Chain A
């Protein structure tokens, strides 16, 4: 059930109504129970065979959390460490089994064949449970944060289960941490009008970028990729630049919709994108792109590695970065292309680590005219270009496929006129998004309208919303399930 569908709207109206009934608000536990049941229903519609898996994993980790805490109270440090490791292994194990088992086994069989040993692997038909990459990360995070004494385990099972299964973010994130999310489940929620309206605006914006830009771009890029060997180099180059825009508007759109739904229910869901197109280097990019994933892997993989390698100076940092970012790549799927994608990004980090500017968070200051400085602007363009090249590897079916595509760009036809079936309206929308990326960079989303200027008039605001609504209506083609659903 995609968020931008009538089915979801009907589902959500029911959820919302019961959630905010006068009687519900008196009992946070009832509100959580209702959310939990709604979430399991939501998951069941997406993948009913996997509901037992979700419930089972939730029960196991709930018990593990309680057991871990009791060992910590008794100061049994070794047992506590062992239980934490068990939790991490179980979570990763789930992910490895469903996502990567066939990949590892096939790759291993190929390796054996390459050195002359006969090996075949009958691909198991393992169905990938939707959302597994996201909820396993929440489960693991819960155990680690208990071990680091940053949270207490949940006494209330409903509370914990609701955190894991929370339907706005269950299928495709953002990945919330227990530290910030679980406390929100402990209070009862009354309708916060201001927050709910902000949520609606955020959903509207998310729908706009997804439906009016991403979905159309997907049709264009799919058709060109299907036949890339007969396209001109210039077309392929434009493809490259458009594909990044497609992924961004798609995933940012989805994240905004999820966060907006959360706001209507009174929850603050963690942010996933913070104007990543303004990034001036690769470190800044990953700090602002798919933030919930990057920060998860940074906190639980990079920091421990960095600490373990701390006496290796720059080599230690580089090694930690490489492992970190290759894992981010591989998280996306079971293909060597994702590993290479990660490695490519790791190479882009090398100059930053060597110059020591890797961890620095330099503020983005406008020039006297309110525009980005020239030096910053060129860096943004370069970074966008480098990131776009990486996404070719991300999109390809195999490494050879990616290199064929690269070869296709670097041909003499690079200087011919590109030809893409791109609607003028889509180009206009992309331009709008690019401009807003800069002008609304301090806002969470562009529809957090300024209270001065023309938008202080209700009529102006509603005209804008209606205009966007009209665009949605005109451009709603087939509902394209978005790219990150397969993760």
Chain B
């Protein structure tokens, strides 16, 4: 899967889980940038992403990410 494709799908997931009107994720986007993205919705996002892409992250992977870019890097390794 292409990086751009992943971002498009992630935007949809974020809009759905966080109840946003629109979303334009970039490599640098982090929880600090989106008000609705808190510790609880973080977990809901991960569950939704794992389901949508049919992948499973390890706990360590999840805790290492500092932004969306790093999360997508992890995803590319699995897709």
Contacts and interface: CB of A to CB of B under 8 A. Distances in A.
A222 interface: no
Most central of B38, B39, B42, B47 by chain A CB within 10 Å: B39
Given A148-B64, A310-B46, A310-B47, A304 B59 contact: yes
Given A310-B46, A310-B47, A317 B40 contact: yes
Interface in A314-330: 317
The binding surface of chain A is classed by DSSP as helix
Nearest to A298: B39
Contact of A361 (B38, B43, B62): B38
A147 interface: yes
A311 B56 CA distance: 12
Contact of B39 (A304, A308, A359): A359
A149 B64 contact: yes
A358 interface: yes
B64 to A, nearest CB: 5
B41 interface: yes
Interface residues of A, number: 20
Contact of B62 (A150, A307, A317, A358): A307
B63 A307 contact: yes
Contacts of B60: 81, 147-148
A302 B41 CA distance: 14
B59 A308 contact: yes
Interface string A138-154: 00000000011110000
B47 A311 contact: yes
B50 to A, nearest CB: 8
A149 B73 CA distance: 15
B47 A359 contact: no
Interface in B62-79: 62-64, 66
Interface residues of B, number: 14
A81 B62 CA distance: 15
A335 interface: no
Nearest to B37: A359
Contacts of A298: 39
Contact of A358 (B40, B46, B59, B66): B40
Contact of B63 (A303, A358, A359): A303
B38 A359 contact: yes
A356 to B, nearest CB: 7
Most central of A310, A311, A360 by chain B CB within 10 Å: A310
Interface in A271-319: 298, 302-304, 306-308, 310-311, 317
12 contacts: A149-B64, A150-B64, A304-B63, A307-B43, A307-B46, A307-B62, A307-B63, A310-B43, A359-B39, A359-B40, A359-B41, A360-B40
Interface of A: 81, 147-150, 298, 302-304, 306-308, 310-311, 317, 356, 358-361
Given A310-B43, A360-B38, 12 more contacts: A148-B64, A149-B64, A150-B64, A303-B39, A303-B63, A306-B43, A307-B43, A307-B46, A307-B59, A359-B38, A359-B39, A359-B40
